[in-house]
Amino acid sequence: AQSVTQPDIHITVSEGASLELRCNYSYGATPYLFWYVQSPGQGLQLLLKYFSGDTLVQGIKGFEAEFKRSQSSFNLRKPSVHWSDAAEYFCAVGPPSGAQKLVFGQGTRLTINP
């Protein structure tokens, strides 16, 4: 069965510190991979996506993610967080072809300490 695991339900980091949010997936083939961010009371906004090619992808707001096929992981990183990064982060996978039935992880809530 297809699944996405985000092991950390809640992470707290200090402003200016580096960040890594973990995402592991289980899928029959190499899926397409996404990270979305949800600010309080808002919809989801795409941060970045991986379809193929370079396994290190750059996204908006200074985020990047690295696809590691051998570890079935797609971890999200940011070298220096800002208070405005406080939000819920969702990793998702989708099929490489056919209807885009995204499967989401349960999310990681990020809190920023001043």
Partner 1 sequence: DTAVSQTPKYLVTQMGNDKSIKCEQNLGHDTMYWYKQDSKKFLKIMFSYNNKELIINETVPNRFSPKSPDKAHLNLHINSLELGDSAVYFCASSQGYSADTQYFGPGTRLTVL
Q: Given the rule CB under 8 A, which residues bind partner 1?
A: 32, 34, 36, 41-46, 49, 51, 88, 90, 92, 94-102, 104, 106-107
The residue among 12 and 42 lying less far from partner 1, judged by its C-beta, is 42
d(CA 111, CA 24): 21
Tell me the closest approach of the beta carbon of residue 46 to partner 1, in angstroms: 5
Q: Which residues contact 89 (CB under 8 A, 6 or more apart)?
A: 6, 21, 35, 36, 37, 38, 47, 76, 107, 108, 109, 110
Tell me the closest approach of the beta carbon of residue 27 to partner 1, in angstroms: 14
d(CA 106, CA 112): 20
The residue among 32 and 77 lying less far from partner 1, judged by its C-beta, is 32
Tell me the closest approach of the beta carbon of residue 100 to partner 1, in angstroms: 6
The residue among 41 and 114 lying less far from partner 1, judged by its C-beta, is 41
d(CA 10, CA 64): 19
